Amino acid sequence: MSKIKKSIVISLIGGILVVGVTAFGFAAKKPLPPDAASEQILYYPLKLESGTYMDYMKTIYNCLQGGAELAQEPLMAFNKDLEVVPLGTESWEVSKDGLTWTFHLRKELKWSDGKPITAHDYVFALHRCIEQGYDFGWYWSFAAGIKNWDKTEKGELPLEELGIKALDDYTLVITTDVPKPYLLGVLIWLYPVPRHAVE
């Protein structure tokens, strides 16, 4: 199957998944009854034998069964009306030339070990997918347009030249080669990766 056909198929599957997940994920919150247990636990059965199913960078083909989406939050998401809404970020600004996007992350988000989710985790996610040489580089074609993506992926430029930077723990800056007004929709696929746990 050609890369173009693969991209179309995955885009269609992704669209179906996004609609399905958001239809349930963004329902109005209801208060718990007064007699509810203080600790709420969700048991999620998995059919996979691989230990990589919770690694979003490796579970793309298993997203229907992997459950990674239940434990991680991307930078942005679609709501039930298919409007792009912030998830990992509180707010953002775009430069006048449309090339620089600055995201202010939510400070209350934490990993399961209690460590905060930071802008460095989002940067590490894209750095890692380039470095690891995963066999679905075509899938990450959505990142084409992020400044120096192609040259960094080919090894012609160091990771530091990629157009994604952490100004501080809670400020993420993404620079594109050309104005990319649909970037927010693309960022529904940008999940953070806990560098401290991976390394």
Q: Which range has the worst mean pLDDT, 17-21, 63-67, 144-148, 192-196?
A: 17-21
Helix (H) or strand (E) holding 140: none
With H, G, I as helix, E, B as strand and everything else as coil, classify residue 104: strand
Q: Which range has the worst mean pLDDT, 100-109, 141-150, 163-172, 187-196?
A: 141-150
C-alpha 40, offset from chain centre: 25
Per the document, the length of the chain is 199
With H, G, I as helix, E, B as strand and everything else as coil, classify residue 157: coil
pLDDT for the residue 64: 47
| CA contacts within 13 A on the Cβ side of 198 | 17
Domain locations in the chain as residue ranges: 3-28+40-198
Whole-number average pLDDT of the chain: 76
CB-count burial class (<10 Å; 0-12, 13-18, 19+) for 134: middle
Q: What CATH topology corresponds to 3-28+40-198?
A: Dipeptide-binding Protein; domain 1 (3.90.76)
CB 105 within 8 Å of CB 74? no
Cα–Cα dist 16/126, whole Å: 24
CB 195 within 8 Å of CB 120? yes
Question: What is the average per-residue pLDDT within 131-141?
Answer: 56
Contacts of 175 by beta carbon, 8 Å cutoff, 6+ apart:
99, 100, 101, 146, 147, 163, 164, 165
For tokens 């709501």, the residue is 79
